[in-house]
Amino acid sequence: MNIITNNELKSTIASTALYNVIDPEIGLNVVDLGLIYQLDFKENEKAVYCKMTLTTQFCPMGASIKEGVENVLQDTFKEDAIQVELTFDPAWNMDMISEEGRHFLGR
């Protein structure tokens, strides 16, 4: 699934960092799992805005995954304010898993 962004270069940097955030149950990173919907970079406000989802609402690992995304973005964009929002519209489904993710899960 493609991530919506207003800055392709920064989005690639952020996505690369977000490969380190793993869903502990599935063992797959949040990017290949398709949990990241949007990454926007507000240059004037020096802020990074991330809109993401979870595989299921009230996912027991949800707090850790969201915190992992915040931690990684803050570590990557040290000077910027990080805002991570959860959404369930649209709800996550298995078609959002990337080809690499499917390959990983199908091993």
Partner 1 sequence: MSNFGTISFKNTDYRIVLPFYVYAAISFLVVTVLMFFSIDAFKGHYFHPHILSITHLMALGWGTMIILGASHQLVPVLIEAPLFSKKLAAISFILAAVGIPMLVYGFYLFQLIWPAEYGACLIVLAVLAFLINIGSSISKSKNENIHALFVFSATGWLFLTVSSGLLFLHNLTNPFLPSDSLRYLPLHAHAGIIGWFLLLVIGVGSRLIPLFLISKYHNTRLLWWIYGLINSALIIFVVLFLYDADKPWFLLPILLISVAVLSFAHFCYQSYAQRIRKQVDNPMRLSLLSVGLLVLPMIFLIVIVIFLIIGASKMNSLVLSYGFLVFFGWITAIILAMTFKTLPFIVWNKAYHKLAGLYKTPNPKDLFDSAVFRWMVISYLCGFVLFVIGVLTSKGWILQSGALLLLATAVFYNWNVFKIVMHKPRLV
21 binds partner 1 (CB under 8 A): yes
16 binds partner 1 (CB under 8 A): no
Sign of CA dihedral 5, 35, 69, 66: positive
8 binds partner 1 (CB under 8 A): no
Nearer to partner 1, 15 or 64 (CB): 64
Residues 13 and 25: their CA atoms lie apart, in Å, by: 25
60 binds partner 1 (CB under 8 A): yes
38 binds partner 1 (CB under 8 A): yes
